[in-house]
Each structure stands twice: as C-alpha cells, then as structure tokens.
C-alpha cells in the first residue's frame, strides 16, 4: 500500500500453512495481486509451511502405504502404471532411470509428520547410546607383513 510518505506494509492474511484458499484471500485483498508462484516462493523463503496439491498428498500417502506392504487392486495398479508412464505432450521426454534402493526405502517416510520423524530419530539415537562400546586392542590381530 502506498501513502504520501512512501510504501506501507500491511498483513493481508495470517496463516499456519499456505493453501490455495489462503492464496485466493491474499489475491482478493491485494491491490496488486502477486501470482500464486510468487506467494509460494515468498512463503518458502520465510520458512512457512506450504501445502502441496491434493494430488501430491494422495501420491505421498500411496507411496507410504506401498512401502508399508499394502498393494492396490491389480487393475488399479495397471491403470496407475499406465497413467504415470505417459509423458506430458508439452514437455520433452525425461530419461527414465532406475530408482535406487535407498530412494525406495525412503518412500515410507513420505508424508510422515515432523513429530513422527523426530520420534524415530530419538529412538535411533537411544538405540545407538545403548549399544556396547568394544575397545580395540593396540595390537593388530593378524601377522605383520614384512618387506623384503
């Protein structure tokens, strides 16, 4: 907002998580509405939580459940694979690479809350603290190699 004394800042909306509804409210209240991409970039820069699309949430949940051992109906599985393997017409084809085992293992953490991740980390650190420390002797346990 501009005044005779220069630009003036005002809060258009307050939020805990940036959503499509929040973006719409900002754009409605703003004299010069920023684009949704600008708002998302600014929110991320400020450290605010940004909600992904409903499709991203569903995909995250699906990956987490698959990593947990659940399987969809075979027909739905085939349809999903077919739909996901199609390249968008307006984009260049991206080279398809094999997914690493580490990436597959990480899918169980997709969509998991920060609290659950913190609990898992705490348990892991407590396990590490509980492991016995084995002191190594100063002598090597195999014969010395001698040079000629």
Same domain, 122 and 59: yes
Query: Which residue range forms the structural domain that includes residue 42?
Result: 12-50
Secondary structure class of 50 (helix, strand, coil): strand
At 66, the pLDDT band (50, 70, 90 cuts) reads very high
- Distance of alpha carbon 72 from alpha carbon 80, whole angstroms: 10
User: What's the pLDDT score for residue 91?
Assistant: 47
**Dihedral sign, CA of 111, 117, 123, 124?**
positive
3 or 128, which is more confident?
128
Which tokens in the block code for residue 61?
A: 């949940």
Same domain, 46 and 110: no
Per residue in 71-94, pLDDT (tens digit) is 998 888 887 887 788 766 644 444
Per residue in 2-54, pLDDT (tens digit) is 566 656 566 777 777 888 888 888 888 888 888 888 888 888 888 888 887 78
Asked whether the predicted pLDDT for residue 135 surpasses 80, the reply is no
**What radius of gyration do the chain's Cα atoms show?**
26
Q: Which of 13-17, 128-132, 142-146 has the highest mean pLDDT?
A: 128-132
Same domain, 18 and 74: no
Same domain, 67 and 117: yes
Angle subtended at Cα 99 by Cα 123 and Cα 57, rounded to the nearest 5 degrees:
65
Q: What is the largest CA-CA distance in the chain?
A: 90
Model-level pTM greater than 0.75?
A: no
For the chain, the domain total comes to 2
Which tokens in the block code for residue 146?
A: 């001698």
């Amino acid at each position: 907002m501009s005044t005779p004394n220069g630009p003036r800042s005002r809060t258009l909306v307050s939020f805990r998580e940036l959503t499509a509804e929040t973006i719409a409210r900002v754009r409605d209240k703003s004299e010069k509405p920023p684009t949704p991409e600008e708002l998302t970039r600014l929110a991320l820069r400020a450290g605010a939580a940004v909600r992904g699309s409903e499709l991203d949430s569903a995909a995250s949940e699906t990956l987490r459940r698959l990593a947990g051992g659940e399987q969809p109906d075979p027909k739905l599985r085939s349809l999903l694979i077919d739909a996901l393997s199609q390249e968008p017409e307006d984009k260049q084809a991206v080279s398809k690479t094999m997914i690493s085992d580490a990436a597959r293992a990480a899918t169980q953490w997709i969509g998991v809350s920060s609290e659950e991740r913190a609990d898992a980390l705490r348990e892991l650190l407590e396990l590490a603290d509980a492991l016995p420390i084995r002191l190594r002797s100063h002598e090597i346990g195999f014969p010395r190699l001698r040079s000629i």
